[in-house]
Amino acid sequence: MKKAISKNKFYYFFIALLFTISLHANAEDSIAIIPKPLSMQIQAGHFVLSNGTAITASSSNSDFKESIRWFIDKIATSTGYHLSTNKSSKSSISLLLNKQADTSLHDEGYTLKVTPSSITITANKAAGLFYGLQTVLQLLPPSIEGTTAMQNVQWTIPCADIKDVPRFGWRGLMLDVSRHFFTKQEVEAYIDQMARYKFNTLHLHLADDQGWRIQIKSLPQLTQVGAWRVKRTGRWGTFMPALAGEPTTDGGFYTQSDMKEIIKYAQDRFITILPEIDVPAHSLALIASYPNLSCTQLPYSVNAGGRGYERNDNALCIGNDSTFTMLDKIFTEIAALFPNPYIHVGGDEAYKGFWDACPKCQKRMANEHLKNVDELQSYFVKRVEKIVESKGKKLIGWDEILEGGLAPNATVMSWRGMSGGIAAAKMGHHVVMTPWDYCYLDLYQAEPTSEPPTYGLCRLSDSYNYEPVPDSIDEKLILGGQGNLWTESVPTLRHAEYMTWPRGIALAEVYWSSKANKNWNDFTTRLEKQFPRLDAANVKYSTSMYNAVFTPARIKNSDFGVTLTTEVKGLDIYYTFDNTNPDNFSQKFTGKPIQFPVGATYLNVITYRDGKPIGEQINITKEVLSQRLDEKHHVY
């Protein structure tokens, strides 16, 4: 009998051990935090979030009062639980601000400890506590991101020890609200999406040729005229200009009180709004409102998305002092409205031909001993920097502000590759890196044949494999980087989401995680576990990482061959040349380039994983592939 009991005991112990090991393995399997924390140990056991769980804070610091309110709301929405703030609760999430700063955590780092009975987050500043709470959400099942309360979900969080600190202090996304206007609620939805991945800067491109989007109380025409254009639908760039007398019904703007709400909404999520007023070019909405400000003084309408004005008469006259009086008024109100220490003044892509032909600009050049129009632009930016600094702000601009000489304290946002950023850093200036080929979220993210029309190419793996600090540049001068979403071809929030995610998730990891922690295969495994979270949150995203990539190459003395790959490892690729839909009974790509049989015009391809289709079917013509043979860079 005794012997039997002991045998049973051993049996139960063994089963319990297996169960614990498998729970632990499952827990590790389900951990998919992005951006990847600096260090993380997962332990056996888990914390269960319940209606009795409390969230408590070590002080009543108002900076994270809002975080607590936000977390309680978030949990209530998807679980139906109402977390208390009762300190004597048996199950609690405690937020502790370090009394004595842990210097290794800097301003935004945190530690997170999960045991079966408690979750403890410590940080030096409120931002770190907020990021710790974001990580807690990522440790919960995906339905935590749901928009209605789910029953029958075990809200477990694996026991863990995490220490996490961002690599860069500037982790941004840019949203162009000029080319298409996004409402306050839409911008706030975008902010929520950014906060999930620990971004801290939302750069709003508030003014361009297609719309002025921020109320300036002393200049009402800017929004009465500049915020509105004629309505056109279809493919951007092909639209008809405004007809005589046609009503301008398309557009919108943020009142200053709307913007204060957006700023507060973002602040509560530890995101700062960087305002951009793009001058001296890209200024047609301003010029349409105040035509005396251009060199030609011609009357224009706000551009509706057509090819625009033949010679791009969209630049301010630098010879006209009214330009600077106007900018002083604008930047006075912008500086008072936005708490961000920087004002972005654009500076990109100026067509300088009108300055060459303008008597006022020529006079300015003579008086100021400026040798050419590049120096005239540099004069402009230096003078604008003085205005911006007189309002207590720092100037940041696109890398064209280097041309003709950089303003003394300017920060450079490098977009035409890294070279502008490198040049600025070599002169000791701060830099925010946003090179287009890694960071432009308006570019194609997959085979253009199957994507909505745009231009260029920036795949998810390009964004992920991007390193923002060039060799031989002091990392301290690189403040960080952004992903930039220009919205010419992005008319809705759903499409903005599709273009942003998951490339924005890759960039979140580039800017937050340590270089040593980056690993593409590990990232895609974690990313796949983010998809159900985005589904639960009703956020649209692209799954193009599963699609086939077509690489045509010449074969000696012959035609050309096509290599098929996928960004994600481990997929099977099937194809046909006979105009039928491929499946896993079709030819499987083996790695050897394939050639079009004589007479075949289409290559149709689909990807599978574990016997199930996973990528989109892409049908591509021989003609399209052959046109790409000699292209170095695809500009579609």
Q: Which residue has the tokens 């999930």?
A: 196
Q: How far is it, in rounded angstroms, from Cα 428 to Cα 382? A: 17
In the complex, the smallest distance separating the C-beta of residue 504 from ligand ACM, rounded to whole angstroms, is: 17
CA dihedral 242, 247, 250, 254 (to 10 degrees): 120
Please, are residues 213 and 234 in contact by the beta-carbon 8 Å criterion?
no
Should residue 398 be labelled a site residue for ligand ACM when binding is judged by CB under 6 A? yes
> Which of ligand ACM, Zn ion, none lies near 358, with the C-beta cut-off 5 to 8 A by kind?
Zn ion
> Within 13 A of 447's CA, how many CA atoms are on the CB side?
26
- Report which residue's Cβ sits closest to ligand ACM: 348
In the complex, the smallest distance separating the C-beta of residue 448 from Zn ion, rounded to whole angstroms, is: 40
| H-helix or E-strand spanning residue 96 | strand 92-97
Q: How far is it, in rounded angstroms, from Cα 134 to Cα 151? A: 22
Binding mask 170-209 for ligand ACM (x = CB under 6 A): ----------------------------------------
| H-helix or E-strand spanning residue 337 | helix 321-337
Should residue 437 be labelled a site residue for ligand ACM when binding is judged by CB under 6 A? no
In the complex, the smallest distance separating the C-beta of residue 358 from Zn ion, rounded to whole angstroms, is: 3
Q: For the chain, first and last CA: distance in Å?
A: 80
Binding mask 308-347 for ligand ACM (x = CB under 6 A): ----------------------------------------
3-state secondary structure 467-534: CCCCCCCCHHHEEEEEEEECCCCCCCHHHHHHHHCCHHHHHHHHHHCCHHHCCHHHHHHHHHHHHHHH
Q: How far is it, in rounded angstroms, from Cα 166 to Cα 128? A: 10
In the complex, the smallest distance separating the C-beta of residue 381 from Zn ion, rounded to whole angstroms, is: 16
Cβ distance to Zn ion smaller for residue 204 or 288: 288
Q: 495 — phi, psi (to 5°)?
A: -75, -30
Please, are residues 469 and 448 in contact by the beta-carbon 8 Å criterion?
no
In the complex, the smallest distance separating the C-beta of residue 355 from Zn ion, rounded to whole angstroms, is: 6
- b/e sequence 170-201, b meaning 16+ C-beta within 10 Å: bbbbbbbbbbbbbebebbbbbbbbbbbbbbbb
In the complex, the smallest distance separating the C-beta of residue 370 from Zn ion, rounded to whole angstroms, is: 13
Q: How far is it, in rounded angstroms, from Cα 183 to Cα 491? A: 12
> Which of ligand ACM, Zn ion, none lies near 317, with the C-beta cut-off 5 to 8 A by kind?
Zn ion
Cβ distance to Zn ion smaller for residue 236 or 355: 355
Should residue 415 be labelled a site residue for ligand ACM when binding is judged by CB under 6 A? yes
Cβ distance to Zn ion smaller for residue 216 or 295: 295
Cβ distance to Zn ion smaller for residue 316 or 562: 316
Residue at 25: amino acid letter: A
> Which of Zn ion, ligand ACM, none lies near 348, with the C-beta cut-off 5 to 8 A by kind?
ligand ACM
Structural tokens at position 75? 């949990």
Q: How far is it, in rounded angstroms, from Cα 291 to Cα 297? A: 5
Should residue 438 be labelled a site residue for ligand ACM when binding is judged by CB under 6 A? no
Residue at 436: amino acid letter: W
Q: Which of 276, 165, 187 is nearest to 497 (CA)?
A: 187
282 is catalytic: yes
Q: How far is it, in rounded angstroms, from Cα 506 to Cα 460? A: 7
Catalytic residue among 349, 374, 389, 437: 349
> Which of ligand ACM, Zn ion, none lies near 37, with the C-beta cut-off 5 to 8 A by kind?
none
Catalytic residue among 46, 180, 205, 282: 282
Binder of ligand ACM out of 348, 374, 375, 437 (CB under 6 A): 348
> Which of Zn ion, ligand ACM, none lies near 38, with the C-beta cut-off 5 to 8 A by kind?
none
333 is catalytic: no
> Which of Zn ion, ligand ACM, none lies near 545, with the C-beta cut-off 5 to 8 A by kind?
none
With contacts defined by CB under 6 A, how many residues of the chain interact with ligand ACM? 4
> Which of ligand ACM, Zn ion, none lies near 133, with the C-beta cut-off 5 to 8 A by kind?
none
Q: Which of 537, 482, 534, 541 is nearest to 512 (CA)?
A: 482
Structural tokens at position 440? 């432009």
Q: Of residues 213-252, which lie at the interface with ligand ACM (CB under 6 A)?
A: none
208 is catalytic: yes
In the complex, the smallest distance separating the C-beta of residue 317 from Zn ion, rounded to whole angstroms, is: 3
Should residue 349 be labelled a site residue for ligand ACM when binding is judged by CB under 6 A? yes
In the complex, the smallest distance separating the C-beta of residue 297 from Zn ion, rounded to whole angstroms, is: 9
> Within 13 A of 87's CA, how many CA atoms are on the CB side?
6
Cβ distance to ligand ACM smaller for residue 398 or 511: 398
> Which of Zn ion, ligand ACM, none lies near 398, with the C-beta cut-off 5 to 8 A by kind?
ligand ACM
Return the ∠ at Cα 35 (arms to 460 and 436), rounded to 5°: 35
| Positions that interact with Zn ion (CB under 5 A) | 295, 317, 319, 358, 360-361
In the complex, the smallest distance separating the C-beta of residue 377 from ligand ACM, rounded to whole angstroms, is: 14
Q: How far is it, in rounded angstroms, from Cα 314 to Cα 287? A: 7
Catalytic residue among 145, 176, 208, 400: 208
> Which of Zn ion, ligand ACM, none lies near 360, with the C-beta cut-off 5 to 8 A by kind?
Zn ion
Catalytic residue numbers, as ranges:
208, 282, 349
Sites of contact with ligand ACM (CB under 6 A): 348-349, 398, 415
